[in-house]
Chain A
Amino acid sequence: MRNWQKYIGIIIPLLVVAGLMLYPTVTGKAAARETAFTILKAIALASSLNILLGYTGYVSFGHIVFFGFGGYVGFYLLSSQGASLWIAILAGGLSSGILAFLLGKAILRLRGAYFALATIGVNEAMKAFINNFDLFGGPTGITLNFKTYLAYGGASKALEMAFFIVGGLACLAIIMSYVIRTSKFGLGLLAIRENEDAAEVMGVIAPDAKTWAYVLSAIIPGMIGVLFFFKNGNVEPHDAFPLHASIELLVMVMLGGQGTVLGPILGAFAYQGMRGYLVTSDFFKDIQLSVSGALLLIIVLFIPAGAVGWLRKRSELLRRVLA
């Protein structure tokens, strides 16, 4: 058996990311890099959400809390403690993971809509708390001293570096997503999604498996948060915990196909692309939200499996090629 065919499910997604990372260099435009950054960020976040939503079947409306919390912790270390970007990114991922572990122990006992509501509560409580937390600058947030960029060869070099790191994190998220999906642990998660009680009877230790799925899905957003705020140069509670961004992630995962490796990538691509088009078009820019909403409604009502799920149902070949 030709060996590469076995891994085609991971090769296609990684090629997409590689293409995105090369795209700005090929076109040589600064705006292209900005677009590619947004898409790569969305791919990384959506892929990580997919671990919880697509594999385990728990709907989180507050996934962005890990982006904000990890981002805040890392950014604090970066700006106030003089840590390097690498340490800050690791700290961001780690702190989000720990937060997810503690939260998971508590709220993953809730099922269905109750869990979804609890995640909204967590996001809002965290936003309100950071708003009052003086160490993190309260409502005004933290601003990075411009000199920090000098350590990375000036602002433009630092932005370029941030772009390649976000590409790396997107790859990491995809690899994580693929490894989990093809592992025994992932099989346990899929069993929980189908029927949690039956999975427990079959020997899946559901509380542990769910908690680890939650932790794994939280690490990448924490890292991305640090990187994003590093690139922006400041962080505010309002930017760090936008509830609608959580829901946009859900839309991306649904659009592409939940529970598949490629799905969130396609979804992120399509959603960001569509948004970019609608916001700039003369005709749609005033009602772009309505158009996105209508499209989402059509997908939810008629293609609930998402693009990849729909394609997989069509033919045997696609089922083998698309993981």
Chain B
Amino acid sequence: MQQLNLLLASLPDGILLGFVYGVAAMGLTLIWGVMNVINLSHGPIISLGMFGAYIVFIKMGINPYLGLLIIAPLGLLLGVLIYVVAVHRVINAPHLSSLLATFSVNMIIIGLGTAAFTTSPYNVDFNMGSVTLGSTTLLGTRLIAALAAIIATGSLYLFLYRTRPGKYIRAVANNRAAAELMGIPSSRILALSFGLGTMLAAISGALIATFFPFSILSGGGYELKSFVIGVLGGLGNPIGALVGGLALGALEAIVPAFMETSWVPVIEFGLFILALLVRPNGLFGAKE
């Protein structure tokens, strides 16, 4: 009974957090789906999103949710830049090249970030009140973050299915050679997709910053979570990523009710390996 109460208290929180995990994973999985590149600079970009929220709110005094409107385009531009500089030359090379190229971007960002912000923790102290339902208390920041995550997912879907560049992205993901024959400028579309992926990472980072303390290194943990979610939901499937994110958020809330919190990563990564082995295309199918 006590466990049930504990669950009721923590589960909604976990699920709300899961929405944000989902957005981060969506960024990773979009890039994988379009160009078969695992973006190892995902984590530091999430960290940059966190610092973006910090700068916007603490230094400039803008509401962090309005600040998303500044952070998102900057994330997009950064992604396009990373693609042009680091990824474009190795897009057709073996996996090792693109993995190492994005990892070198990871090192560059972490190095510069450490020089600028050190590795000590920062905090965006932002309070949106809370809502109490029975025995559960929902923090306002988490509710809004979940809402923002849903809006981001919805916009991504509208973009991919209702606009011309979005359709181009899906065409390139489906068959790059055929898309090029149809006159789609594939290099530009790849750059745009990479930009969208990093934009989602930056948004998720900014949302996470409103309820957890962070440092330049904390993105790494969310990058690993994004891998787990991406694989659970099927690499290349954005809706799968959101569902996978919710599942992971729920898992993180459920496990501590039954065993010590330190077992959570054991179960997460165990599940991750299992999913890779049993259903490498994810529980909900890979890219369409």
Contacts and interface: CB of A to CB of B under 8 A. Distances in A.
A301 B96 CA distance: 11
Main secondary structure of the interface of B (DSSP, over half): helix
Contacts of A107: 273, 276-277
B155 to A, nearest CB: 28
Interface residues of B, number: 45
Given A124-B224, A125-B266, A117 B231 contact: yes
A191 to B, nearest CB: 16
Interface residues of A, number: 45
Given A113-B95, A132-B260, A139-B262, A118 B107 contact: no
A120 interface: yes
B227 A251 contact: no
Given A125-B270, A247-B103, A290 B112 contact: yes
Contacts of A292: 107, 111
B263 interface: yes
Given A132-B266, A297-B105, A251 B100 contact: yes
Nearest to B280: A114
Main secondary structure of the interface of A (DSSP, over half): helix
B280 A112 contact: no
Contact of B93 (A110, A139, A243, A304): A304
B39 to A, nearest CB: 11
Contacts, number: 129
A131 B262 contact: yes
B159 interface: no
A289 B110 contact: yes
A57 B115 CA distance: 36
B276 A121 contact: yes
A102 to B, nearest CB: 12
B46 to A, nearest CB: 16
Interface of A: 53, 57, 59, 61, 106-107, 109-110, 112-114, 116-118, 120-122, 124-125, 127-129, 131-132, 139, 243, 247, 250-251, 254, 258, 286-294, 296-297, 300-301, 304
9 contacts: A113-B38, A117-B276, A121-B269, A121-B272, A121-B273, A139-B262, A247-B103, A293-B105, A293-B106
